[in-house]
Amino acid sequence: MNQISRRSSADRDLIVIFRHYARDAGLRVADRFLIEAEATFERLASMPGMGTLYEPDEPSYVGLRYFPVSRFRKYLVFYRPMPDGIEVLRVLHGARDIAGILAAEFGIDDEDDMTLGEGK
């Protein structure tokens, strides 16, 4: 069975998103988001190459990929393939400052303009 490891920051992201949906759309939608996020993690763990490579010019990001949460495509799962599955690093809304959030996650100075799928 493929393993799914999650950083605590990914767990916090899921809680924040759940609360957002529970408050604004109701518990059914919030629950459905969590179900779809877990299903996405499982799919990625079985086929880690599905996601798009995140490719800014920064060695810390080597191997980092992203893939949208099924049925909630504005949310992106940032993960790294591992020999026995995946490590989920973050789950972020695509409109957020992804470069800045990931730079903080990896302890990188965010002076450069980094965007999804594009190098410098």
Number of H helices and E strands in the chain, helices first, is 3, 5
pLDDT band at 113 (very low <50, low <70, confident <90, very high): very low
pLDDT tens readout for residues 40-54:
999 999 999 999 999
Region 52-57: what's the mean pLDDT?
A: 88
Greater confidence (18 vs 59) lies with: 18
Structural domain boundaries of the chain? 3-106
pLDDT band at 24 (very low <50, low <70, confident <90, very high): very high
Statement: 3-106 belongs to CATH 3.30.2310.20 = yes
Q: Encode 49-62 in three state secondary structure.
A: HHCEECCCCCHHHC
Q: How many Cβ atoms sit within 10 Å of the Cβ of residue 104?
A: 12
Global pTM? 0.88
Rounded-to-integer distance, Cα 87 and Cα 78, Å? 9
Report whether pLDDT(1) > 70.
no
Beta bridge partners of 4: 86
Rounded-to-integer distance, Cα 40 and Cα 71, Å? 10
